[in-house]
Amino acid sequence: MLFTPPDPEILARRDSIIAALKAIVPDGVVEVATDLSAYESDALPAYRERPLVAVLPRNAEQVSRILRYSAEAGVPIVPRGAGTSLSGGALPRADGILIGMGRMSRILEIDYENRCVTLEPGVTNAAITRAVEAEGFYYAPDPSSQIACTIGGNIAENSGGLHCLKYGLTTNNLMGVKFVLPGGEMIILGGKAPGAGGLDLLGLITGSEGLLGIVVEATVRIIRKAPVTRTMLASFDAVPDAGACVAAIIGDGLVPAAMEFMDRATIGAVEAYIAPGYPDAEAILIIDADGVEAEVSDAMARIAGHVVACGGSVREATETLARAKMWAGRKAAFSAMGRLAPDMICMDGTIPRHALPRVLEGIAGMSKRYGLGCCNVFHAGDGNLHPLILFDAMKEGELAEAEAFGADILRLCVEVGGVLTGEHGVGIEKRDLMPEMFSVADLDQQHRVKCAFDSGGLFNPGKVFPTLSACIEQGHIHVHGAQLPRPDLPRF
Amino acid sequence: MTRVSSESQIVDFVRAARAGRSPFEIVAGGTRRGVGRPMASHEGKALPVLDVSGVAGIIDYQPEELIVTARPGTSLAELKALLAAKNQCLGFDPVSWTFLTPPPFASTSAATGTSPASAPMRAQGRRASDASTLGGAVSADASGPGRLRHGPPRDSLLGFRAVNGFGEAFRGGAKVVKNVTGFDLPKLVCGAFGTLMVLSEMTFRVYPRPNARATLILRDRAPDTGFAALRTIWKSALEPSGLSYIPGSAKFPGLGDVGEGAALIRFEAAEMPLSEKLAAARLLVGGAEEISEGDRIFTAIGEGALFQNSDLEVWRVSVPPAEAARVAGAIGSPHWLGDWAGGLLWIGARGEDAPRIRALAMETGGHAMLLRAPASRRAELGLFAPQAPPLAALTASVRAAFDPLSLFNPGRL
């Protein structure tokens, strides 16, 4: 079962909940079933649920009042940005308020002297770069959904992207937030000055998947665009050779701005889709080097040396157009898969780079065993795999088989010393696999942290943690003041 | 004083302390014991000491993975040497604050009956830079000028093992560079000053260490133009590894006469890119002279050498970089310098300056950390200013989630 059954007592109060929300946001309550269906799922469409009601605040004060109401009324909250989560992070609850942050979408300040932008959570990732690129700056984290996904969602999921090997994930590029806690109080964490001046709660809430509160304002770091960027396409006749090449490049002290892997199945699908002109090969790597001219020349020469030594061949692009074409295939990889099968699941484990050949071999074996196709496209530089499992949900039992296949892949990732998710989040999708990676004591500790923010267990319940007892059972001493609402009800 | 050398011994110690409701101080190299609010038991007595310097040693180092796992009591000097042998380094430029530690720790060690063989005593006899440990540097968020390049400890610490206040061993994070599975607990470790848990293992991302470095100096620059030059480089794509400003009034040891002040710019790279970066930097900020003793100066800046022979209270004031000149001017002490392109001000001040320093930092959205002062002053002022009530309540809640009985370094942060 995905969630505990909806609380009939909350369902019975729907009208009064809607009235209370309308009093806070008169022009932003969605209550009609057909309108609510827009919020039924995020980018993990295998799971669907219609929210009790959706509310679309316009400012921090409204967010604060909504959260105060939710705490007083004991109604669960599910935060949502653009709904591009691949792990079901924004999957609603039938007995919960969905709070959509899309209308808070202003860029508030661009401060080049302090190299930062302050913005509301509903601004899209790509819009940050668009706002500063005329001055030669950009925002580094670049998840593939960047034209749609919002900074609020990026913070909730600690989103990565193609370039995070060199430039880090969201957490490494986020300087401060205004954050509304369950119960409605607002705190300020970080800002334009370096460091925390206390516990690093900013680091804690980043990637907390909507379990701890809601970001109503963020300050992010911007970076000057490197003067030179070059792209190399390396092709290999055998997958293990490509894996060995990745290890050789990293081991040589090179930190490419990006290093992406695609296997034969992916290359074929992408060629059929937008014909970027990829070579006929078992595996390719697309590698970006950026920096000053001499730095890039040096890096490119050394990388080419490793490619050849590993039995591969090299093609290089320096012109913007040629580079864009090389990257277009990678960026279209997920869309291209749509031609191979009606449905797919994208996994997201990270492994130590030396384990690449072993894990790729293991995935190939599982693919045969399950009788389901699997394409591999991933961020090779940081060992973040994205196996795409192909299936047809209309065929009896295939979704369950695909999910079992995915779970087996993640178990293998953990077995070789890796993790369940590198950038997509646990959400609903990988929730029940958490014990594969964490002991009871590990999960208890995380649960206590959750309780420190949300003693009522009202924030995005049912996500991330497999089973959560009430906070009180953790021996937790809550300092916030809120009473545990309706302690008789199972919340998770 | 109880000395432990393994996680299971830490578990035993914490469980006993928990049963006896007996808080304690966590000490490894002992070089930072004089930082933060002095700790005492409810009865005002000195706390028992848990000596974790024996929880030391490298567990796993895989240069080709750019990852190292070590026990927290490992000496920084040892770890740095190990990494340097493979042309790698820790990203956060850990510093020991060598010159800030006034040896001996007379009050603490006398009160706790420190034996001659114990680690804190050894720290007195050795140079602090040798005694300083990995766990201590990360817990104190102690990073030097090089932090500009790869960020603070929080950007490098990937995972850890530790014992919480329930006496349970647990882990946070993992041993891979990219991970979002569960809450990012490693972030909380950095700068917590040992108030959440007793660490037993730490995994870091490490970085390639370029083989060449060079430092440019701009002399006779007033603070506003000096910091503006630093920010010009900071805003460029040249990826500097040090941007510091030293006013003439500071009379920085070994720097000679710098007129109104010196802006220092350091790059690290392979040789060819390095000369290209130096040329590009000169185009951006004008005639800058290359100096050979740059690394020594940057090390001295990070360690706090400016305050070695003074009895001033020492502050680390964090401000938005563009506010650095204004804040330093408003504080008005002649004994100061700026690091991290202006994001960090080191200030030596008289006691009466404290309220103004805290107010100025807060006004800019930053904060002021009291790094060195007599115990009575540290008790009065705390390491940081009090937080706004909702944030203070949340911080207390989070702390209680790890250590509900306040057993670990109580009151220090």
DSSP alpha helices (H): ranges in A57-105? 60-73
Assess whether pLDDT exceeds 50 at residue B104.
no
**B92 and chain A in contact, CB less than 8 A:** no
Mean pLDDT of B85-114: 67
- How sure is the predictor about B125, in pLDDT bands with cuts at 50, 70 and 90? very low
Q: Which two tokens stand for residue A133?
A: 């690129």
* A295·B269 Cβ contact <8 A: yes
User: Which one, of A229, A230, A236, A290, lies nearest residue A261 by Cα?
Assistant: A236
Interface of B with A in 242-261 (CB under 8 A): none
* Beta-carbon-side half-sphere exposure of residue B159 (alpha carbons within 13 Å): 25
Could you read off the pLDDT of B18-48 as tens digits, one per residue? 999 999 999 999 999 999 999 987 777 889 9
CA separation for the pair B161, B84 (Å, rounded): 25
Assess whether pLDDT exceeds 90 at residue B406.
yes
C-alpha distance from B125 to closest chain A C-alpha (Å): 32
User: Which one, of A428, A486, A426, A479, lies nearest residue A457 by Cα?
Assistant: A486
Residue ranges in chain A whose pLDDT is less than 50? 476-492
DSSP string, A246-267: HHHHHHTT---SEEEEEEHHHH
* A197·B190 Cβ contact <8 A: no
DSSP alpha helices (H): ranges in A38-102? 60-73
Decide if A95 contacts A17 (C-beta within 8 A).
Answer: no
Decide if A107 contacts A222 (C-beta within 8 A).
Answer: no
Q: Which of A22-26, B117-121, B199-203 has the lowest mean pLDDT?
A: B117-121
Interface of B with A in 54-83 (CB under 8 A): 62-67
* B171·A476 Cβ contact <8 A: no
- How sure is the predictor about B101, in pLDDT bands with cuts at 50, 70 and 90? low
Q: Give, for B39, the enclosing helix (H) or strand (E).
A: none
Mean pLDDT of B313-319: 97
The pLDDT of residue A68 is 98
Could you read off the pLDDT of B59-68 as tens digits, one per residue? 999 998 999 9
Beta bridge partners of A231: A288, A317
Q: Most A CBs within 10 Å: which of B37, B170, B183, as the mutation test of the A interface?
A: B183
Could you read off the pLDDT of A99-130 as tens digits, one per residue? 999 999 999 999 999 999 999 999 999 999 99
The pLDDT of residue A467 is 72
Chain B environment of A384 (Cβ under 8 Å): 178
The pLDDT of residue A476 is 46
Decide if A406 contacts A347 (C-beta within 8 A).
Answer: yes
User: Which one, of A481, A457, A484, lies nearest residue A77 by Cα?
Assistant: A457
* A382·B176 Cβ contact <8 A: yes
Query: For chain B, what is the mean pLDDT?
Result: 91
Could you read off the pLDDT of B211-241 as tens digits, one per residue? 899 999 999 999 999 999 999 999 999 999 9
Q: Which two tokens stand for residue A65?
A: 């009042």
The pLDDT of residue B114 is 36
Mean pLDDT of B249-253: 88
CA separation for the pair A308, A306 (Å, rounded): 5
* B176·A196 Cβ contact <8 A: no
Q: How far are the Cα atoms of A309, A339, A443, B346 from residue B265, in angstroms, in the given order?
A: 38, 53, 45, 17
Residue A474 CA to its chain's centroid (Å): 29
* A383·B178 Cβ contact <8 A: yes
The pLDDT of residue B45 is 84
* ipTM of the shown complex: 0.94
Burial class (CB in 10 A: 0-12, 13-18, 19+), B352: exposed
Of the partner residues B164, B188, B321, the one whose CB lies closest to the CB of residue A200:
B188
Residue A430 CA to its chain's centroid (Å): 13
Of the partner residues B179, B280, B361, the one whose CB lies closest to the CB of residue A419:
B179
The pLDDT of residue B105 is 38
The pLDDT of residue A487 is 35
Q: Which amino acid is at B108?
A: T
Interface of B with A in 353-392 (CB under 8 A): 361, 364-367, 369, 384-385, 387-388, 390-391
Between A and B, how many CB-CB pairs are < 8 A?
Answer: 279
> Cis peptide leading into A240, omega within 30 of 0?
no
Q: Give, for B263, the enclosing helix (H) or strand (E).
A: strand B261-269
**B297 and chain A in contact, CB less than 8 A:** no
Decide if A161 contacts A143 (C-beta within 8 A).
Answer: yes
The pLDDT of residue A339 is 82
* B187·A294 Cβ contact <8 A: no
* Beta-carbon-side half-sphere exposure of residue A220 (alpha carbons within 13 Å): 37
Assess whether pLDDT exceeds 50 at residue B124.
no
Instruction: Name every residue whose Cβ is closer than 8 Å to that of residue B63 and which is 6 or more positions away in sequence.
Output: A251, B86, B88
**B283 and chain A in contact, CB less than 8 A:** no
Query: For chain A, what is the mean pLDDT?
Result: 91
The pLDDT of residue A110 is 98
CA separation for the pair B222, B247 (Å, rounded): 7
- How sure is the predictor about B102, in pLDDT bands with cuts at 50, 70 and 90? low
Q: Most B CBs within 10 Å: which of A445, A463, A472, A474, as the mutation test of the B interface?
A: A445
Instruction: Name every residue whose Cβ is closer than 8 Å to that of residue A333 and which is 6 or more positions away in sequence.
Output: A262, A266, A269, A270, A375, A377
Beta bridge partners of A313: A235
Decide if B298 contacts A310 (C-beta within 8 A).
Answer: no
The pLDDT of residue B110 is 35
A87 — phi, psi (to 5°)? -120, 10
Chain A environment of B151 (Cβ under 8 Å): 168, 172
Burial class (CB in 10 A: 0-12, 13-18, 19+), B62: middle
- How sure is the predictor about B121, in pLDDT bands with cuts at 50, 70 and 90? very low
Mean pLDDT of B360-365: 96
Q: Which amino acid is at A177?
A: V
The pLDDT of residue A200 is 98
Q: At what angle do helices B271-285 and B223-234 cross, to 10 degrees?
A: 140
The pLDDT of residue A418 is 97
Question: Quick check: helix, strand or coil at residue A371?
Answer: coil
Q: Most B CBs within 10 Å: which of A67, A113, A199, as the mutation test of the B interface?
A: A199
Q: Using alpha carbons only, what angle is made at residue B346 by residues B75 and B398, rounded to the nearest 5 degrees? A: 65
